[in-house]
């Protein structure tokens, strides 16, 4: 028998545990003909703000070893245009749509969510309190535990849909932020967003990105992401959606084992746009081979009891 692949966040059921990460899948329409989106647990939209944003000047993307740096600056069409021009297509897809929201004030987050909450076809919200590339909001919110708590509390009052807080790894103890979000009413945590990084052009001795630093993503950050998800999993009861350099079924399984209830595929969508569907299928096959009734049986099953061989004590 095939294992159960679905899982639930705040009464909303998702058909499987594999999502595509915000900013790597546009508004779902750019890859429409390339990818079978009905294989996905859901789509996280590019971050939406109240007004359209042009984003940062070029250069905004640089390839780095096993990853990339970006400084998009939250370029997006704004919530009104999204609702009018993009949501009708997204609604027609056989997967769930999570709207990712970015803002430079608590009021702006609230206003964007309020506008969306009266519309059908948005399954939930992922709140970006962790963009490294903007002056206002972004990381200044995501690295301030009180602010994360305040934003979560205010948004919780406005919606009964799943509220997911996306955290930055650019802090000392990410679990403190996860705990604050949980206490303030979040239904889930997404982790991790990108790590601040810098690339240099040796011919000019200038930074490669126009904003000097940017957000590092891709397989290069996977071990960091696994450690952060593991840390959060020890601290909260709400589900964690693990993100960071997932490039294969095996990578996704590692995130489930350290405590993520679901995963997002980000940077690898640029390499292989259909990879998330392939990974969703791969997880199901693994669970079947392991004779599991439900993929969820894998979550948080890391055996962290390290047994040292007798040889070790003899050597010391
Ligand atoms: C952007 C936003 C992010 O949250 C991120 O991790 C990287 C880039 C951006 O739009 O600049």
pLDDT at residue 33 is higher than 80: no
CA angle 228, 169, 301 (to 5 degrees): 15
Q: Rounded to 5 degrees, what are φ and ψ at 41?
A: -65, -35
Half-sphere exposure of 226 (CA within 13 A, CB side): 18
Residues with CB under 6 A from ligand 1: 23, 70-74, 128, 130-133, 193-194, 215
Class of domain 7-315: alpha beta
State yes or no: is 145 an active-site residue: no
43: closest CA among 122, 109, 130?
122
Q: Compute, in angstroms, the gap from residue 251 CA to the centroid of ligand 1.
A: 22
Q: Tell me: the pLDDT tens digits for 99-126?
A: 999 999 999 999 999 999 999 999 999 9
Closest approach atom of ligand 1 to CA 56: 11
Residue nearest to atom 3 of ligand 1 (CA): 131
Six-digit token string for 170? 């650019």
Six-digit token string for 81? 């245009």
Bond before 106 cis per omega within 30 degrees: no
Alpha helices in the chain (DSSP H): 79-81, 87-91, 106-117, 139-142, 145-156, 174-183, 222-233, 249-258, 268-271, 275-289, 310-315
* Whole-angstrom distance, CA of residue 21 vs CA of residue 33: 19
pLDDT at 30: 87
pLDDT at 51: 98
Six-digit token string for 24? 């790597």
Q: Tell me: the pLDDT tens digits for 170-206?
A: 999 999 999 999 999 999 999 999 999 999 999 999 9
Specify the residue for token string 């594999």: 18
Q: Compute, in angstroms, the gap from residue 60 CA to the centroid of ligand 1.
A: 10
Six-digit token string for 112? 């964007």
Residue 70 and residue 270 in contact, taking contact as beta carbons nearer than 8 Å: no
pLDDT above 70: percentage of residues in the chain: 99
pLDDT at residue 132 is higher than 80: no
Q: Compute, in angstroms, the gap from residue 218 CA to the centroid of ligand 1.
A: 13
* Packing angle, helices 174-183 and 222-233, rounded to 10: 50
Q: Rounded to 5 degrees, what are φ and ψ at 78?
A: 85, 155
- Ordered by start, the domain boundaries in the chain are 7-315
Q: Tell me: the pLDDT tens digits for 244-265?
A: 999 999 999 999 999 999 999 9
- Pocket mutation for ligand 1, best pick of 70, 73, 102 (most atoms within 8 Å of C-beta): 70
* Whole-angstrom distance, CA of residue 240 vs CA of residue 247: 19
Secondary structure class of 245 (helix, strand, coil): coil
Q: Is 78 exposed, middle or buried (0-12, 13-18, 19+ CB in 10 A)?
A: middle
Q: Hey, how many other C-beta atoms are within 10 angstroms of the C-beta on 18?
A: 30
Task: Give the predicted TM-score (pTM) of the model.
Answer: 0.97
Question: Residues 131, 163, 188, 189: which is the catalytic one?
Answer: 131
pLDDT at 316: 67
Six-digit token string for 2? 């095939």
Q: Compute, in angstroms, the gap from residue 165 CA to the centroid of ligand 1.
A: 15
Going from the C-alpha of 116 to that of each of 13, 81, 97, 99, 244, the distances in angstroms are 19, 12, 12, 8, 28
Specify the residue for token string 């999502």: 19
Residue nearest to atom 10 of ligand 1 (CA): 74
Q: How far apart are the first and last CA of the chain?
A: 50
- Asked which of 28-42, 45-59, 99-113 is least confident by mean pLDDT, the reply is 28-42
138: closest CA among 171, 102, 165?
102
């Amino acid at each position: 028998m095939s294992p159960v692949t679905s899982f639930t966040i705040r009464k909303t059921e998702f058909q499987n545990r594999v999502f595509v990460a915000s900013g790597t899948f546009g508004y779902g329409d750019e890859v429409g003909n390339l990818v079978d989106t009905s294989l996905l647990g859901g789509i996280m939209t590019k971050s939406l703000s109240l007004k359209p944003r042009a984003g940062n000047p070029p250069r905004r993307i640089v390839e780095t070893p096993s990853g990339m740096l970006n400084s998009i600056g939250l370029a997006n069409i704004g919530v009104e245009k999204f609702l009018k021009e993009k949501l009708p297509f997204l609604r027609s897809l056989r997967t769930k749509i999570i709207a990712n929201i970015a803002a430079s004030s608590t009021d702006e987050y609230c206003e964007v969510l309020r506008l969306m909450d009266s519309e059908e076809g948005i399954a939930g919200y992922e709140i970006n309190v962790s963009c490294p590339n903007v002056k206002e909001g972004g990381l200044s919110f995501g690295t301030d535990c009180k602010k994360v708590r305040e934003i979560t509390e205010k948004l919780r009052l406005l919606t009964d849909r799943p509220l997911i807080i996306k955290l930055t790894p650019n802090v000392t103890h990410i679990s403190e932020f996860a705990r604050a979000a949980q206490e303030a009413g979040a239904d889930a945590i997404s982790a991790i967003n990108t790590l601040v990084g810098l690339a240099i052009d040796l011919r000019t001795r200038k930074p490669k990105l126009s904003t000097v630093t940017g957000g590092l993503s891709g397989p290069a950050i996977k071990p960091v992401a696994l450690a952060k998800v593991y840390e959060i999993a020890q601290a909260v009861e709400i589900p964690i959606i693990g993100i960071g350099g997932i490039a294969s079924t095996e990578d996704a399984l590692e995130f489930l084992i350290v405590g993520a209830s679901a995963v997002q595929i980000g940077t690898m969508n640029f390499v292989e746009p259909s990879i998330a569907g392939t990974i969703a299928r791969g997880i199901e096959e693994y669970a079947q081979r392991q004779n599991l009734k439900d993929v969820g049986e894998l979550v948080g099953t890391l055996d962290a009891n390290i047994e040292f061989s007798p040889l070790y004590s003899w050597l010391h």
